[in-house]
Amino acid sequence: MNFDLSEEQRMIQESVARFIKDNYDLESRVASSAKDPGFNTDHWNTMAELGWLGLPFAESDGGFGGNQIDVMVVMEQFGKGLVLEPFLASIVMGGGALKRGGSESLKSEMLPGVIDGSRQLAFAYAEQQARFDLHDVTTTARQEGEAFVLNGQKSMVQNAETASQIVVSTRTSGGQVDEDGITLFLVDADADGITLDNFPTVDGLRASEIAIKDVSVSADRILGEVGRGFEILNAVANDAMLALGAEAVGTMEVLYKDTVAYTQEREQFGHPLSDFQVLQHRMVEMFIEYEQCKSMLYRATMEAVKGDPATAQKAIHGLKHLVGKYGFFIGENAVQLHGGMGVTEELRLGHYFKRLVVIDSMFGNADFHLQKFAA
Amino acid sequence: MDIELSAEDLSFREEVRQFFSDNEYPAGEDYMTWRTQWFEKARQKGGWDVPKWPADFGGPGWTPTQHYIWEQETARASLPFDLPFGVGMLAPILMAYGNEEQQHRFLPDIRSRKVNWCQGYSEAGAGSDLANVKTKAVLSDDGTYYMVNGSKMWTTAAHMADWIFCLTRTDASGIKQKGITFLLFPMQQDGVEVKPIITLGGSHSVNSVYFTDVKVPVENRIGEEGKGWTYAKGLLQHERTGLAGLSGSLVALEKLKEQARSVTRGNGTLMDDPGYRAKVAELEIDLMAAEYTELRSLASASTGAAPGPESSILKLKGTEIQQRIQKLTVEAGGIYSAAWGSKPIGLPFARGGMGGYLASRAFTIYGGASEVQRDVIAKNVLGLKRSSK
Ligand SMILES: Cc1cc2nc3c(=O)[nH]c(=O)nc-3n(C[C@H](O)[C@H](O)[C@H](O)COP(=O)(O)OP(=O)(O)OC[C@H]3O[C@@H](n4cnc5c(N)ncnc54)[C@H](O)[C@@H]3O)c2cc1C
């Protein structure tokens, strides 16, 4: 039994932590978020130079051969800074689909650019009628000779605005909610028939609605096999939930610690707020649930790396449930214990709180995963 | 005990409904003109523009049941926009502690909504510990005016207000609750500066307000110098009863169900989801009970007593219910709740849902934060004492 990070992982952790500390004060984050492309391209290049973008890719693909634990280490630190750069969208999601399903030639065409940061990806899986069900897909792909013609709509796609390629889940056969019959395509973002409607999200990031009209995609852009895309889709979603879980844990840590610090500084009734027992206990609960989320994160991540798929899947449902539920709990109480200051945009905690609310809405909320776990 | 509405109550309800439907906002017309007229017509009904004012001051003198009916109906109808500061908060103070000249000077314009007021209580150092106000008011040598210096924080609608009612410190030598003086003065004058505070949803409703050598004539002091705390405390209870918003929650709950039914999920809608349904049901049950808590408190208030400890229960329960409705709206919005552009994405209610959720976090902070409300109940209702800490 050993919960220690490897020497290498520890070094990555330290370097990401230092990067966040040096670059990610609230003011710069707000400024980067407001300006196109919605994040800091210098930061993105730094992340590439420091090798972080190559972490989860095999050495044979030009990466560092890392796994979910390495991504966890990075994402937890990113959560502490509320990082805007599209690591999740481009590396974990888009890159995750490509590395799993791309042909050797497609990978060698695409992955070097993904890893050096010059090429960004997005992952378009959500559709309105589906709510949180990955396998509820109505976007169609119809074969025409060597190509497929795609039609449909995708929702809340992160990083579509800056991506050069977008992974799109489509239905090539079967009924609307069948797991069989889903096919993934790597579509050029500037292809004819792709229309983006871009907008900000409440956490300071950006997303797009994508209309797909008669978009022709060559068959060599299929990820995995025709009709067998769900397996990849689900694996990418699992990796994304682990990454989001790690980010959430980092975010929660900032929230509970900021609250502990604030209540010691702020005085009312001639005492620091931290003297009041009811607030002490509330902060203890925040701390306990943060630790529980962290434990679940470790558990789910290790199961994903080592365990059998069914066990890992269950642990991931558990993780997403916990970080959703306690994300709200910790976020709402951090705000409450800051009083009026908690609801201003001036302090960073409100921004961290909003990110946790968004994390709950991605890939299924706390309720959804509770039901999946129980099923 | 009897919950049947009497024949008179039923006809009162009819009359209220009729009034609301006769005076709906006619689309396209000037809103402010309609608003002024609406309050005027309500006044002519016999004090319907100021339902909570006592009959002596032109209020309708309703029974608790009539108040309840009014609340229920107002939540369903679309009434003109109204701020609570003048009619709901300052007026009761003026009636109880203002002199006749002040009542004549201020109440008519409060009633007609001609003058907008804001509440200058909280300061950076005086939040839950409100008695800690430091804004200084110094009486001039000739005793004709106070010179006010200092600042207020969190002042809602200060940027739209004509006047402010303000807690100031005239004596710092004794205990904090003594030496607070209650002053009224105009906002549009040199020496008053308003700066916005932007809240989580990105909106501007609260402000910091700075006072530099603001002269306030002694005629604008409510009651005696140094007794402002007593006056303000009475007012706080009025503020709290107003914040439970139960009838609004009843309507919001209906809307929530409707929204959930518009969200597809598998072969059905979100309202077919057992987990979601259960949460909505729990909410509904709490709301049903809280409605009766409110009725019980109304009934006891009808004996003329000031709103008592029930107002703390109601504020706690009512704001918690409002927050749960908002959170369930965010849950219903699913992935679309994150969208934060100028127009709704995916589900029409999702953008407003997130805005509402974020704004609702302040409900358990202002008007007495929940932790402090529980202190009030512990002390005043359960009779619990706290050790020195
Ligand atoms: C949106 C909004 C609108 C407002 N509008 C107005 C307005 O128009 N006019 C006005 O005067 N004020 C207004 N306020 C101010 C409001 O009344 C204060 O925010 C409130 O009294 C809490 O004070 P605070 O923010 O300083 O928090 P603090 O008093 O610092 O409290 C912080 C936390 O500590 C807890 N706490 C404090 N004391 C204790 C204790 N003894 N025991 C246990 N817990 C405790 C609180 O419950 C809270 O969770 C507004 C505030 C907001 C957020």
Neighbours of B21 (CB within 10 A): 9
User: What's at B26, amino acid-wise?
Assistant: P
Which residue of chain B is at minimal alpha-carbon distance from A338? B365
* Ligand 1 pocket, mutate which of B198, B199, B372 (most atoms under 8 A from CB): B372
Q: State chain B's mean pLDDT as an integer.
A: 92
* pLDDT tens-digit series, residues A241-293: 999 999 999 999 999 999 999 999 999 999 999 999 999 999 999 999 999 99
Q: What is the pLDDT of residues A184-231, one digit of tens each?
A: 999 999 999 999 999 999 999 999 999 999 999 999 999 999 999 999
> Separation of B322 CA from ligand 1 center, angstroms?
18
Question: What integer best gives the mean pLDDT of chain A?
Answer: 97
- Give me the residue from B198, B270, B374 closest to A345, CB to CB: B198
Nearest C-alpha of chain A: how many angstroms from B147? 27
Give the tokens for residue B243.
């914040």
The domain spans of chain A are 7-119, 122-227, 231-374
Residue A37, preceding peptide bond in cis (omega within 30° of 0): yes
CATH number for the domain spanning B344: value is 1.20.140.10
| C-beta atoms of A156 and B389 within 8 A | no
Verify that B144 and B59 share a domain, yes or no.
no
Residues B376 and B279 in one domain: yes
Q: List the single residue in A with minimal CA-CA distance to B343.
A: A199
Instruction: Report DSSP state, residue A164.
Output: S
Report the pLDDT value the prediction gives residue A224, as an integer from 0 to 100. Answer: 98
- CA distance, residue B282 to nearest chain A CA (Å): 15
First to last CA, chain B: 44
Rounded to an integer, the average pLDDT of B62-87 is: 89
Report how far residue A253's alpha carbon sits from residue A17's, in angstroms, rounded to the nearest whole number: 13
Asked if A200 and B340 come within 8 Å (Cβ–Cβ), the reply is: yes
| Chain B residues with CB-CB distance to A136 below 8 A | 266
Examine the pLDDT at B75 and tell me if it is beyond 60.
yes
Mark whether B77 and B28 lie in a shared domain.
yes
Fold annotation for A7-119: Butyryl-Coa Dehydrogenase, subunit A; domain 1 (1.10.540)
CA distance B20 to B29: 17
Of all residues in chain B, what percent carry a pLDDT higher than 70? 93
What residues of chain A lie within 8 A of the CB of B345, using their CB?
155-156, 197, 199, 209
B164, two tokens: 């402010």
Tokens of B254: 């209906």
- Indicate whether B1 belongs to any domain: no
Is B152 inside a domain boundary? Answer: yes
Sign of CA dihedral B101, B103, B108, B114: positive
Ligand 1-lining residues (CB < 6 angstroms)? A 266, 268-269, 273, 276, 278-279, 336-337, 339-340, 343; B 119-122, 127-128, 154-156, 206, 362, 365-366, 369, 371-372, 375
Q: Same structural domain for residues B268 and B308?
A: yes
Using the mean position of ligand 1's atoms as its centre, give its distance from the Cα of residue A282 in Å.
17
Confidence category of residue B313, pLDDT binned at 50, 70, 90 = confident
CATH number at residue B130: 2.40.110.10
Instruction: Compute, in angstroms, the gap from residue B270 CA to the centroid of ligand 1.
Output: 36
Question: Does residue B20 lie within any of the structural domains?
Answer: yes
The 8 Å CB, 24+ separation contacts for B168-175 are B168/B133, B168/B135, B168/B136, B168/B137, B168/B228, B169/B133, B169/B134, B169/B135, B169/B136, B169/B137, B170/B136, B170/B137, B170/B138, B170/B139, B170/B146, B170/B225, B170/B226, B171/B225, B171/B226
B336 and B219 part of one domain = no
In a domain, B290, yes or no: yes
Contacts of B33 (CB under 8 A, 6+ apart): none
CB B226 within 8 A of CB B169: no
Q: Are strands A165-171 and A182-188 parallel, antiparallel or unpaired?
A: antiparallel
| Same structural domain, B74 and B184 | no
Whether residue B233 lies inside any domain: the answer is no
What architecture is the A231-374 domain classified under in CATH?
Up-down Bundle (1.20)
Residue A272 Cα to ligand 1 middle (Å): 14
Radius of gyration of chain B (CA): 22
In a domain, B237, yes or no: no
Could you give the number of structural domains in chain B? 3
What predicted TM-score, i.e. pTM, was given to this entire model?
0.96
Give the fold, CATH level 3, of A122-227: Butyryl-CoA Dehydrogenase, subunit A; domain 2 (2.40.110)
Please give the full DSSP string across B293-307, using - where no structure is assigned: HHHHHHHHHTTTPPP
Note down the domain range covering B178. Answer: 115-227
**Gap from A47 CA to chain B (nearest CA, Å):** 26
**Is B346 domain-assigned?**
yes
